[in-house]
Structure 1
C-alpha cells in the first residue's frame, strides 16, 4: 500500500483542491482562495503557515507564502505536494491552445483539399462546418468522417449505382455508411446542396432527389446527353448511331443505358468542345450541318450520362474544351465539369468575360459569385461589372473557333 503524503490531511483537502485547480489553469498564480474550511481545517492551515491566529473559513492565501511554508514542512514545493496528493497538475490553457490548434489545422486541411479547391463553392460548406464545430467531438474523429465524405464527393456524379453499392465500393465495404441519417451521408448531402445551390433537404424524398441529381441510382433511360458531330470508331450500336446522325447533320441523344454498354466505341482523338446550352448546338448545326466538329452539351448541370460520355472521350484521347454562361451558376457548373472530366476552359477567362460584357451593357445580375479555379481574376471582374453574359451572346465567337478547327482539320 502506498504511504500517504504527510500533508495529506483530511482537514487540508479543500486547500489542496483549490491549489490544484488554480495551478491547472496554466496561468500564473499569485493567490489562492480556499474553503470553506471547518474549525479543524482552519487550525491545520494556521499551523502550516505559522499564523498566530486562525484564518477565516474561506481565506485568500498568498501563493508565495503557501509555497514557502510547504517547502519548509516537507522539503518539496506546493506543486509537487498537490500532485502527490491529488494527481498530476494539468495545464488547461495549454490544452485549450493545443485543441484550438488541432481544430484550426483540421479546417485548413479541409479548405485546402483538392476536392474543395477544384470547386471553390465548397468553401461555403467548409465555412458552415467550421461555424457549427466538430462533427464527432474530436478533431481526429471529425477528420476521419470528413475524409470519407470527400472520398464520396470525389467520386460523384456516380454512374447510377444504388446508394448501398456506392457506399460499399468507396467506404471500406460498408454498404450502410451512407444510409439516411448517418454523419457521412449528412456531410455529403450538405456539400451537394451547396454545390447545386439548393437548400438542405428536410425530408427523405428530398434527400433521395439530391442523391439522384448526383448520379446515384439514376434512371438509365431518362439521363441522357446531346451531342453533334460525334463520329466514334467502332461497330457498336452507339458508335453507329452517332456516325449516322453526324453524317446527316442531326444531333444524337444518348442515354446512360446506351453509354454503359456501347459495344465497340472509340471516341475521336482530337478536340471535343463542350457547351452548357443546347441552343449553341442548334446554331452549330445550322452553320456547319454534316461538317460540324464534335460538340457535346451539358444542358446546364451535367447528369451522369454527360459525365460518362466526356470521361469516355477523354480516356480515348480527346482534348475536352468547355464553355458556359458567365454567371454565378455557370461558373460553378464550369468548375464542376473541369474537375470531373479533365476539360480545360474555352473562352472562359476574365478578359473573355470583360469583352463579352460589352455586348450586354444592361445584362442581368450574375447572382451569387464563387471563385473560378482556372482564373483567379474572373470572379472579381464579374463582381465589378455585375453583368451576366449567357453563352448565346458569344455564340458567334464559339462558332468561329469551331470553323478554325474545321479549317485545320482539312
Structure 2
C-alpha cells in the first residue's frame, strides 16, 4: 500500500487516536470511546459504520463492529489500519512488565550482593533504597551508582585515608564522595543503618559517621587493646607487645603505631577476639603472663582493631570471634567476620540456648538482624527474647583459652626440647 491510507481523514483522527491508545495498553479491548467529534466527524463515523443516524459527540463503539467496518472499507484489520495511519502500536503492559522485571532484578542483585549478605543488617538499607525508587528512573544508572557505593562499603573501615584520597583510589574521582553527592548519601545511609544511628542531617554529623567508617581517623585516638600477643620481630610494636605479654599486662596500640610497626610477624596459631574488655581482664586474672593471644574490639571496632586483625590474619593467624548475644552484638560480630575473615567462637544457636538459663529474666535483645554464620541463631534469640552478654559465659571462654594454652605450652616445650636435642647431638658429633 502506498501513499495515504484511505481511512486517514481528519474527521476520523480522534477515533483512530483513541483506538491506537487502547490497543497500545497491551490489554484486551472490547470497545473504544472516541471523541469529541464534530459534525463532520460524526458524519464520517456514521458513513464508516453504516449507521442510519449520527452518533453522539463521544460515542462508545464495540471493537468487533469497528473491525468489520474497517475490513469492508480497506480489507485490513483495525490494528493494521491504525498502525498505518498513526505508527506502530505499543504494548505498554509488556513494557511495564519488562521494567518491573528490571527493577526486581536490580533489587535482587543488591540484596544478594556479598557486601550485604555478609552484614544482613544492610538489608534495611536495601529496603529503604527500593522504597525510594530508581535514580532518574533508570535501572542502569541506579546499578552503576550502587556498584560504586558497594565498592566503598567493601573497603570500609578505611585505614584513615582522607575522603578525597579514598574516593580517588576506589572510584578514580577525588570528588565522587563529596558532601551532598548522591553516592556520598548512599554510603552514609548504609553506615547509619550498620551502626544503628539516624542519618545525619548536618555536615558535622556526616563527618562523624565517615570517621566511624575509618575515614580520616585520628591516628592516636583509634586504638586496640590486646593481651598475650607475642609477635616476632624487633619493631616497636612487636617489642612492646611482647614486653606487656611477658609481664601479664594488656597492650594498647594506636593506629599510628600499627601503620608503622617496624619488623613485625604475628602468631601463626589461633588469635581469640572478644567484644568486651572485661573478658580480657578476667583472662589476665586467670592466666597472667601465660595468657594466650586475645584481642578486644571494645564494642564496634575502631580502624586500629580491624587493622591489627587483618595484619594478624595475613601473617597466618586464625581469628576466632565471640561477642554478646543481642541485636547489636550480632551486628558487630557480622561486621568483624566480614572485614577480617574471623570465624565464630561459641556463637551458634545451641551456645545461645545453653547460656540463656544463666541469665535472670529481663534483658531484651533489641533490634535483631540475621547472623550470616548461623541461620538459626537470630530465630532462637527472637523466640527467647533474652540478651546474653559476653561476661555471662566468660568462664566457658576462659576454659577454651586454658585448653589452647596447654597445647601452646606443649608446642613451646616440644620446640625447646627439639632445639636442645639438636644442640646436644651436634656437640656429641663434634
Q: Distance in 2 between matches of 1:4 and 1:236?
A: 89
- The aligned residue for residue 174 of structure 1 is 173
Query: Equivalent residue for 1:403?
Result: 402
**1:201 matched residue in structure 2:** 200
In 2, Cα distance between the equivalents of 1:58 and 1:78?
A: 19
Cα distance in structure 1, aligned partners of 2:212 and 2:137: 31
Q: How does 1:6-405 map to 2 (within 5 A)?
A: 6-171=6-171, 173-405=172-404
SS in 2 for 1:225: strand
Contact 1:234 1:265 in 2 (8 A): yes
Structure 1 residue 4: Cα displacement: 2.3
**Greater share of helix residues, 1 or 2?**
2
Alignment coverage as a number of residue pairs: 408
Q: 1:63-96: CA deviations, max 9, x gaps?
A: 1111121122222211112112212111111111
Tell me how far 1:361 sits from its aligned partner: 3.0
1:74-119 Cα deviation digits (max 9, x unpaired): 2221111211221211111111111111111111111111111111
Task: For residues 102-152 of structure 1, give each alpha carbon's deviation from its aligned partner in whole angstroms, at most 9, with x where no partner exists.
Answer: 111111111111111111111111111122222331222111111111111
SS at match of 1:202: coil
Q: Which moved more, 1:156-165 or 1:122-131?
A: 122-131
Q: Tell me the distance in 2 between the aligned counterparts of 1:228 and 1:371.
A: 31
Secondary structure in 1 aligned to 2:4? coil
Shift of 1:363: 4.2
Stretches of 4+ moved more than 6 A in 1? none
- TM-score for the superposition, normalised by structure 2: 0.93
Distance 1:256 1:67 in 2: 79
Structure 2: how far apart are the matches of 1:144 and 1:3?
Answer: 47
1:48, distance to aligned residue in structure 2 (A) = 1.4
Unaligned segments of structure 2, at least 5 residues: 411-430
Q: Is the 8 A contact 1:363 1:389 kept in 2?
A: no
Unaligned runs of 5+ in 1: none
Whole-Å separation in 1 of the counterparts to 2:65 and 2:385: 70
- 1:169 shift after superposition: 1.1
Equivalent residue, structure 1, for 2:422: none
1:333 and 1:111 mapped to 2: Cα distance?
Answer: 20
Partner Cα separation in structure 2 for residue 235 and residue 88 of structure 1? 78
Distance 1:75 1:148 in 2: 57
Give the Cα separation in 2 of the matches to 1:188 and 1:80: 51
> Under a length normalisation based on structure 1, what TM-score does the superposition of the two structures give?
0.98
Q: Distance in 1 between matches of 2:43 and 2:362?
A: 86
Partners of 1:84 and 1:304 in 2: CA distance: 67
SS in 2 for 1:32: strand
Structure 1 distance, partners of 2:4, 2:174, is: 56
Q: Distance in 1 between matches of 2:399 and 2:136?
A: 54
* Aligned equivalents of 1:135, 1:337: Cα separation in 2: 31
Shift of 1:261: 1.1
Task: Mark the CA change 1:255 to 1:347 in structure 2 (over 3 Å): closer, same or farther.
Answer: same
CA distance, structure 2, for counterparts of residue 76 and residue 242 of structure 1: 90
